[in-house]
Every structure is written in C-alpha cells, then in structure tokens.
Amino acid sequence: MSKDKLIDHLFRHQYGKMVAILTRLFGLEHLEIVEDAVQDTFIKAMLSWRSQLPENPEGWLTQAAKNRAVDLFRKLTAEKKRVPNIMSGPASMTISELFLDTEIEDSQLRMIFTACHPELNPKDQIAFALKTISGFSTKEIAAALLQNIETIKKRLSRARKLIKTKKLSFQIPNANELPERLNRVLEVLYLIFNEGFHSNKKEVLVRKELCGEAIRLCQILLKNNYTRQPSSYALFALMCFQSARLDSKLNELAEIIDLKNQDRNKWHFPLIQLGHNAMHKAVETEEYSSYHFEAAIVSEHLHAPSFEQTNWNKILFWYQKLYELQANPILLLNMAIVKLQLNDFEGTQQLLDSINLKKLEQRTYLYYGTYAEYYAQKGEYNKAVENIDQALELVHNEVEKQYLFKKKALM
C-alpha cells in the first residue's frame, strides 16, 4: 500500500475514533475545535511520513491524538485561568483511559447517537454522521448524497449550530428514549449502506467503502448491551447478506450482471455465515422489524442453488409481510417482479398499475424497466421497447443505462 493510500485508509478508520474520544473529553460545544485538531494531526502525519513511515502508523496517530488532547486541554482551560499539570496525575489517567478499546467504542457509540439525534434535521443527520463518525470529506459526502459541496457545508454547519444552541449531551440515551433513538440510528445506517450497495452517483453503481462503513458502525451497536437489539442484529445480517454478493454484481468492465447471470461462486460465504449467525440472534424474540423481512428475502436468494431454483413463493411471502409493516411503491414494484418470475402476468400487471409513479421519484425508471420485461416475456416486443426507451430517458446512473441498452438490443 502506498503512503498516500495508507494515510487515506487510516484517516477513514481513525478520524471518527479521534473525534469521538476528544469530543467526549472536551464536550460537544468544542466539536469544531476537536475536528480541526484531528485534521491537523493528519496533516502532521502526512508531513512526518513523507520520508519514512513509522513502524506502527496507527499507534503513531493514537499518540499524536493524545498529545493533541493535552494541547487542547491547555488551550481551553487557560481561558478559564486553570491550567493543571495534566502530564501526570488523575487528568493524565483520564486521557489514557479514554483510548482503551472499550472506551473508544463507547465514545463512538455516543457520537452515533449524537449524529442521529431527533433534534437534527433528518437530511443533516446522514451528512453529519459521514463527517464526524466516518471521516468523509465534504466533497465525498456531496458526491455520495448527490448534492453540491455548498449544500453539504450548510448541512454540517446547521447541525453543529443546533448541537450548541440546544446544548445536546454527548451520551447514550436512557432506557425510555433508547428504542426510538435506536430506530433512527438504524435508519441512518441503512441509508448509508444502501447508498453504497446501489449508489445514486452517476458514474458508479457500487461504493464498497460506504457498505463497509455502515457494517462497521452496526458492529459498534452490537458490542453494547443496550443497543444489541433484535433489529440491530437483523440489520447487520441484511448488510452481510447484501455485501456477500457485491463482487458478483459487476464484471471486469464495471458492467451490471443481473442476479440470473451472477457467478454464485463469487459470493463471499464467510459473510453469508456471519449474516446467518446474526439472524439466529435476531429471531430469538418475536420482535420483527423491516430489516428482519428484508434479510429473509436476501437469504432466500443466497440459499437457492441457481436462479431457476429460487423459491419465489417464499420471497413473495416475505415481501407481503414487509409491505404490511411499511407500505411503499418500491415494494409493490419488487412484488411485481416476483410475480413475473412466477409467470403470473395478471398479478404482475395489477401490481404495476397500482403504483403511484410520483412516489417512485428517481426510481421511476425501474417501473418502466419492469414493464419492458413484462411485455418481453409475453412476446409483445414493440411495447417492451417502448417501455425500455422510457426507462432510458429517466435513468440517472450511467452503468444502469448501459445495462438497459444491452437489454433493449436483445429484444
């Protein structure tokens, strides 16, 4: 790994840890100072490592962060005219203890709940989470969320300002608040993962770094007694199941390979097993979330020896259970696709015609793509081409557009 790639990798994995630890030490009111300090630490690393890398880069960064904490402590306490000697004694112990693995995880969990706090605008939460927990740059967040950099800057600024004005506390919610707060955290992690699994970015379909980050944050939830809930396990299982198929979604030319033609030998079975282990824990109670049903659907695909041997009736059953829990047009579309696999043309058309296209928003192209497949299977190729042309006019992602062009050529 090159020096630049190593620093980038460490930044992605260490930034959130450092920000969380220092925020716990100095308080949310000093978040901007903390973020600047962590940024400075990495700039120092890039300069110091230009000639030679340290033997233990992560250890170097940890020590640098501790030293920066001392500097910050002096700066902030000097304003209150109390500058203790924190290089020894209880204060020094406190700083050292905060860098223990269990305390790092606790600090990160506090930051996750802060980023997903209900006082924050839902649209700001994801941007703030990607910045403070995951170390994404403003430019990267803008690319991930399909927004311009200035919009992201405003979102981050608004979140930081609200945290100050509302005097939000840097802590894990109490027992009464936890269920609702945890639900929002899971929603944010789910959205981050989905942006990686099926990116809205124009040129890229899969963004593994987002998938990996969502899984990492979900693992933090599973390490805590209070956030280790059935829904957390189910979401983790879903992420593992979906991630197991990432390497089979695209070929070497970055072209889409649909599920029917994917090489199942490329599926990552250790991840599948990890997902199964999580699902066993997720169903220890009868408390089922949408993540349970989504994971069950993906699990059916993973269990099938081939596309032709897929248990479509079971998948339809799980979709219906999911729809009972949260009715939305994408689920109707997915059920229509399943009905098509069962050669239920009447059922397919009924579902498609029941969809409110306005609610599909930027996914409307999928509706026309499904109708194109419907007409193609019925042998009505003129109508199939008409619908795929409509899909081509609406699709945003270039990889998906090329996939639709290829499908049209086969009609």
The answer on 6 and 92 residing in a single domain is yes
Please give the residue range of the domain that contains residue 185. Answer: 101-228
The answer on 297 and 197 residing in a single domain is no
Give the CA diameter of the chain: 83
Which 3 state secondary structure label does DSSP give 256? strand
Cβ-based burial of 294 (10 A; exposed 0-12, middle 13-18, buried ≥19): buried
Give which of 298, 307, 304, 301 is closest to 279, Cα–Cα: 298
Q: What is the CATH number of the domain that holds 368?
A: 1.25.40
Rounded Cα distance between 370 and 85, Å, is 68
The predicted model scores a pTM of 0.85
Structure confidence at residue 79 (pLDDT): 56
Structure confidence at residue 90 (pLDDT): 45
Q: Is the pLDDT of residue 206 over 70?
A: no
H or E stretch covering 407: helix 398-409
Kindly report which listed range (45-49, 119-123, 200-204, 277-281) carries the lowest average pLDDT score. Answer: 200-204
Using the 3D structure, point to which of 170, 201, 228 is the last residue of a domain: 228
Strand partners, 256: 250
Structure confidence at residue 86 (pLDDT): 40
Q: Is the pLDDT of residue 25 over 50?
A: yes
- DSSP letters, 56-104, are -HHHHHHHHHHHHHHHHHHHHHHTTT----TTSSHHHHHHHHHTSHHHH
Q: Decide: 28 and 163 in contact? Cβ < 8 Å.
A: yes
Count of domains for the chain: 4
The answer on 115 and 38 residing in a single domain is no
pLDDT in tens, 91-106: 444 667 777 788 888 9
The answer on 263 and 354 residing in a single domain is no
Structure confidence at residue 88 (pLDDT): 43
Q: Is the pLDDT of residue 85 over 50?
A: no
Rounded Cα distance between 228 and 344, Å, is 41
With tokens 């079975």, the residue in question is: 269
Q: Which residue has better confidence, 64 or 228?
A: 228
Rounded Cα distance between 361 and 83, Å, is 57
The answer on 142 and 76 residing in a single domain is no
Neighbours of 115 (CB within 10 A): 26
The answer on 362 and 279 residing in a single domain is no
Kindly report which listed range (35-39, 190-194, 336-340) carries the lowest average pLDDT score. Answer: 35-39
Neighbours of 127 (CB within 10 A): 27
Q: Decide: 12 and 134 in contact? Cβ < 8 Å.
A: yes
Q: Is the pLDDT of residue 12 over 80?
A: no
Query: Residue 42 has which token pair?
Result: 């990495």
Rounded Cα distance between 163 and 116, Å, is 11
Structure confidence at residue 272 (pLDDT): 97
Structure confidence at residue 67 (pLDDT): 78
Q: Is the pLDDT of residue 83 over 70?
A: no
Q: What percentage of residues in the chain have a pLDDT greater than 90? A: 52
The answer on 109 and 222 residing in a single domain is yes
Q: Is the pLDDT of residue 204 over 60?
A: no
Neighbours of 228 (CB within 10 A): 12
Using the 3D structure, point to which of 99, 117, 148 is the last residue of a domain: 99
Q: Give residues with Cβ within 8 angstroms of 140, minimum separation 6.
A: 130
Angle at 395 between CA 391 and CA 399, to 5 degrees: 115
The answer on 249 and 221 residing in a single domain is no
pLDDT in tens, 120-176: 998 899 899 988 988 888 887 887 776 789 999 999 999 999 998 999 989 999 989
Angle at 329 between CA 327 and CA 331, to 5 degrees: 70
Rounded Cα distance between 108 and 120, Å, is 18
Structure confidence at residue 203 (pLDDT): 55
Structure confidence at residue 2 (pLDDT): 66
Rounded Cα distance between 384 and 234, Å, is 38
Q: Decide: 304 and 311 in contact? Cβ < 8 Å.
A: yes
Rounded Cα distance between 372 and 94, Å, is 63
Kindly report which listed range (205-209, 243-247, 319-323) carries the lowest average pLDDT score. Answer: 205-209
Q: What percentage of residues in the chain have a pLDDT greater than 70? A: 90
pLDDT in tens, 322-378: 999 999 999 999 999 999 999 999 999 999 999 999 888 888 999 999 999 999 999
The answer on 290 and 204 residing in a single domain is no
Q: Which residue has better confidence, 36 or 289?
A: 289
The answer on 265 and 223 residing in a single domain is no
Using the 3D structure, point to which of 99, 116, 141 is the last residue of a domain: 99
Mean pLDDT of the chain: 86
Q: Which residue has better confidence, 100 or 312?
A: 312
Q: Is the pLDDT of residue 313 over 50?
A: yes
Give the residue-averaged pLDDT of 185-199. Answer: 85
Structure confidence at residue 87 (pLDDT): 42
The answer on 68 and 122 residing in a single domain is no
The answer on 116 and 93 residing in a single domain is no
128, amino acid identity: F
Rounded Cα distance between 312 and 341, Å, is 7
Query: Residue 19 has which token pair?
Result: 């920000």
